[in-house]
Amino acid sequence: MLDRFATDPGLAETRVQQPFGVTGYKDMRTRLAEVATTGFCIIINHTPLGSQYFDSTYPEAWQTEYTDKKYLWSDPVIVSAMLARDGLRRWSDITMPDIRKVLPAAARYGLNFGVMMSATRGTKKSLLSAARHDREFSDDEINEVHEMFHRIIEHSSDPLRLSAREINVLKCLALDMSQDEIASNLGISVPTVKARLKSARKKAGSETNYRLLAKAMQSGLL
C-alpha cells in the first residue's frame, strides 16, 4: 500500500512540500483526502536512487506496523503495481496471493477498500494507492483520482541538483553580494565565481542569475 515505501534500502524516499513544477498540488491533495477517507499514499518518479516525491496520509499506526513487519514485498498491492508498467485496479480485483495477510491487517486500521494505480515513464515509476473504510471507490472517483495522478506526474520536473560549491556561491548571491564580495567571502577567484554560476545556470536551464536563484529556492537548496 506504499506505506513507508522507502524502508527498503533501494526505495529511499524524498519528502518535499509539493512535486516540483506542479501548481495546485495543495488543492489536489485536499481533494484526494476527501475521496480517500482512510488515507492515500503517492510516490512520484521512483528510481533505484530514490523517489522525487513521497507523501502518505495513512494512519500512523498502520505505517508503523507496515514498516516493523516489513510488509513491502509481501504486499500484493505493491507487487502487482510494480509488475505492471501502467495499471489501474481496485484492491478487490487483485488476484495475487496475499500470503502474509497484508490486506486483512490493513483492514484493522480502516483500510477496507482501495484502489491502486501505477505509471512508468522511461526508468521512473510512479504509484498511487488510496483507501476508504466504508465502500468501494466509484468509477467516477477512480477516474478523478487517476486524472489527478497523471497531472502530478506530467507536471513534475526533475529537482535541481547542484554541487556544494555552486550552492555556496548561490547563498552568497542571495545575500546580494557582488561577485567580488563572493570571491572574497569564499576565498576563491572572481573567474571561479563566474564559472560556478555559469555551471549552475546550465544545470538549471536558466539564462540569468535571478532565475537561477528562484529555481534554487523553489527546489529547497537555499
- Confidence class of residue 1 from pLDDT cuts 50, 70 and 90? low
The single residue listed with the C-alpha cell 514485498 is 73
The CA distance from 109 to 20, in Å, is: 32
Residue 35: closest CA among 156, 121, 139: 139
Angle at 126 between CA 10 and CA 147, to 5 degrees: 165
Higher pLDDT, 18 or 120: 120
Nearest CA to 53 among 22, 14, 7, 82?
Answer: 14
What is the rounded distance in angstroms from the CA atom of residue 200 to the CA atom of residue 103? 47
Dump pLDDT digits (tens) for 155-189: 776 667 899 999 999 999 999 999 999 999 999 99
C-alpha cell of residue 216: 534554487
Query: What domains, with CATH codes, occur in the chain?
Result: 5-155 (3.30.450.80), 164-218 (1.10.10.10)
Residue found under cell 502530478: 152
Please give the distance of CA 88 from its chain centroid, rounded to a whole number. 19
105-126 pLDDT per residue, tens: 999 999 999 999 999 988 889 9
Residue 7, pLDDT above cutoff 80:
no
CB 169 within 8 A of CB 142: no
Question: Is the distance from CB of 63 to CB of 158 less than 8 angstroms?
Answer: no
Mean pLDDT, the chain, as a whole number?
87
pLDDT one-digit tens code per residue, 22-67: 668 889 999 999 999 999 999 988 877 677 788 899 999 999 999 9
57-97 pLDDT, tens digit per residue, is: 999 999 999 999 999 999 999 999 988 889 899 999 999 99
